Amino acid sequence: MSNFKEQLKQARISVDQNLQKWLPLPDNLSARVVEAMRYATIGGGKAFRAFLILTTAKMFDLPEANAINIATAMEMIHAYSLIHDDLPSMDNDTMRRGKPTVHIQFDEATAILAGDALLTNAFEVLADETTHPDPMIRTKLIKMLAYLAGKDGMVGGQMIDLIGEKQTLNLEQIEMLQGKKTGALLMFASTASAVATKAPEEQLNALKTYAKCIGLMFQITDDILDVVGDSATVGKTLGKDKDETKSTFVSVLGLEAARQKAEELGVQADDALSIFGEKAITLKEAAHFILERNY
């Protein structure tokens, strides 16, 4: 297994251990919502965003004890977005990560509450003293994640995505929408460790360029998988973009040009990391993984 694949697997294991700590099953009447939160987070998905945080933590000497909480908060917000995205009022999906979506496994009201609580409790994790000894750093991380997950980031992108189901979007609009919907959380994941260690501006900017590239690449490969992927491997229903006449990179560019665009972005992501030399090798492997991914 490559270094990248091992580290991705390790990120999943480490975050799961920390989620067990932050989401213990209570012995009371609210246990059902915690069950749904655990169902949506523990052992589910690639933990790619957590991996980015833990990898950049090593690059910037952020202690793993701090980074793991940032990674856990990140995966909680990611899981919330997937639960809500799958709801009948949004994408109306029944399968995610190879198992029934949260509203199917539990019920719609519980799914909404589980998403709400994951969003809220993520900020509890970030605000905790164990996340960073400096309260100013914790506040900075909280503000950054709130901004990137909210109206100017992921939620704003999701709104434009829903509008895009009713009207055709051009390439520029699709890039803007995906930069927010998919790119914003990847921006946080790529830069949080650098922010937490007060990295020099030049290094932070390099990571921001890398994040912008991988955000778009991630979405392009998602659009490609929707057309050519294997639903058992991807773990969800595919072919939905076409059915819903959604404007996507593939619908606007076609498969080949979309692939080529992803490859060009991969080169740009690589270039952005050149100032880190050998230290950025795992991040480069991560960009390559996005290009090749089949799940």
Binding site for ligand GRG (CB under 6 A): 45-46, 48, 78, 81-82, 84-85, 90, 97, 154-155, 158, 181-182, 218-219, 222
- Which residue number, 189 or 199, has a Cβ lying nearer to ligand GRG? 189
Please, what is the minimum distance in Å from the beta carbon of residue 3 to ligand GRG?
19
Residue nearest ligand GRG (C-beta atom): 45
CB of 137 to ligand GRG, least distance (A): 26
Nearer to ligand GRG, 22 or 295 (CB): 295
CA dist list (Å): 41 to 17, 23, 38: 11, 10, 5
Is the C-alpha dihedral spanning 184, 186, 188, 190 positive or negative? Answer: negative
> For residue 26, what are the CA distances in angstroms to 20, 90, 169?
12, 30, 46
Nearest CB to ligand GRG, comparing residues 79 and 144: 79
Smallest separation (angstroms) from ligand GRG to the CB of 225: 9
Residue 44 Cβ vs ligand GRG, minimum distance, rounded to whole Å: 6
Nearer to ligand GRG, 43 or 200 (CB): 43
Question: Using an 8 Å Cβ cutoff, are 48 and 26 in contact?
Answer: no
Identity of the residue, 21 or 240, whose beta carbon is nearer to ligand GRG in the bound complex: 240
As measured in angstroms, the least distance from the Cβ of 177 to ligand GRG is: 10
Residue with Cβ nearer ligand GRG (142 or 155) = 155
CB of 196 to ligand GRG, least distance (A): 22
Would you say 132 or 236 has its CB closer to ligand GRG? Answer: 236
Contacts of 269 (CB under 8 A, 6+ apart): 209, 210, 213, 214, 217, 284, 287
Query: How many CB atoms are closer than 10 A to CB 96?
Result: 24
